[in-house]
Amino acid sequence: MTITQFINSSLGRKTVMAATGLFLCVFLVEHLYGNLLLFYTDGGEAFIEYSHTLVHSLFIRIVEIFLFAAIIVHVVQAIHLTRLNSTARPVKYTEYKVGETSNWFSRNMGITGSLILFFLVVHLWRFFVPYRITDAVGGEGQINVAQDVKLAFQNGWYVLFYLVSIAFLTFHLNHGFQSAFKSLGLNSKKHEQLLSVSGSVFAFGIVGIGFASIPVLFYFGIAGSTF
């Protein structure tokens, strides 16, 4: 079997989807680290410097290309696998169970993934476009990126939308994290429980609580008081 044939096979698509998914998990950790800089009581300087580095670092710009490519590939593979599952009815990617009956989220990864993609588009439009494309934020006489985050999270509706989206993201990650290791052949009965716990800690304890804390603390005025 050639590489092209493998990639176009069901197993190959699952492998590519798993690899891109884990790459996106790494990005989430890095993105969370950057966002948590907003909690520094330095007038937002640490976050501003971090955002400046993202714009002017050639390495980061190259990584961004791979990041957007990974998102597109992940979505495309998900669509192909969903179609294969609905027509040929093989063992579904979302039906992998970790010691218990599958729940709604594990059976509907396509739905949660679509909602997350919608959130990503809105999120990029709200923050990425004004700062990186239209130059409406961060210039002379304009609000800086830290102040823009504070402004966004003073809107109760956006905070609610953000929190609901993060909730879907955490459940999507909880199942996807474990399924990715299975698709890559890196799981075993011996480490099944460890993988399950690790996935939950990553999804709920790190990504969920980490990202959800930002809009909540800003909305109630606990964070961002120095800028």
Q: How many CA atoms lie within 13 A of 132 on its CB side?
A: 14
Q: Is 11 contained in some domain?
A: yes
195 residue type, one letter: L
By CB atoms closer than 10 A (0-12, 13-18, 19+), residue 46 is middle
Residue 207 neighbours by CB under 8 Å, 6+ apart? 28, 29, 32, 166, 169, 170, 173
Average pLDDT rounded to a whole number, residues 116-140: 94
* pLDDT (tens digit per residue) in 205-223: 999 999 999 999 999 999 9
- 181-202 in b/e form (b: 16+ CB < 10 A) is bbbeeebeeeeeeebbeebbeb
Distance of CA 119 to the CA centre of its chain: 10
pLDDT of residue 90: 47
Average pLDDT rounded to a whole number, residues 128-148: 93
pLDDT of residue 21: 93
Residue 10, both tokens: 């069901």
pLDDT of residue 170: 95
Q: With 70 as the cut, is the pLDDT of residue 202 above it?
A: yes
pLDDT of residue 96: 43
The boundaries of the domain holding residue 80 are: 3-219
Q: Is 224 contained in some domain?
A: no
Residue 77 neighbours by CB under 8 Å, 6+ apart? 13, 14, 16, 17, 20
pLDDT of residue 88: 57
pLDDT of residue 184: 83
Confidence band for 126, pLDDT divided at 50, 70 and 90: very high
Q: Is 162 contained in some domain?
A: yes
**What gap in Å lies between CA 13 and CA 64, rounded to an integer?**
22
Residue 101's φ and ψ, nearest 5 degrees, are -65, 140
Q: Is 157 contained in some domain?
A: yes
Q: Is 74 contained in some domain?
A: yes
pLDDT of residue 9: 82
How many contiguous H segments (helices) and E segments (strands) does the chain have? 10, 0
Q: Is 124 contained in some domain?
A: yes
The percent of residues above 90 in pLDDT, for the chain, comes to 58
Confidence band for 93, pLDDT divided at 50, 70 and 90: very low
Short-list 105, 52, 53, 113, CA closest to 81: 113
**What gap in Å lies between CA 1 and CA 227, rounded to an integer?**
58
* pLDDT (tens digit per residue) in 149-165: 999 999 999 999 999 99
**What gap in Å lies between CA 104 and CA 120, rounded to an integer?**
22
Distances (CA, A) of 164 to 44, 53, 156: 26, 30, 12
Q: Is 165 contained in some domain?
A: yes
The count of structural domains within the chain is 1
Confidence band for 11, pLDDT divided at 50, 70 and 90: confident
The percent of residues above 70 in pLDDT, for the chain, comes to 90
pLDDT of residue 10: 79
125 residue type, one letter: W
* pLDDT (tens digit per residue) in 25-82: 999 999 999 999 999 999 999 999 999 999 889 998 899 999 999 999 999 888 887 7
Q: With 50 as the cut, is the pLDDT of residue 95 above it?
A: no
pLDDT of residue 85: 67
CATH number for the domain spanning 131: value is 1.20.1300
Lowest mean pLDDT among 87-91, 120-124, 193-197: 87-91
Q: Is 95 contained in some domain?
A: yes
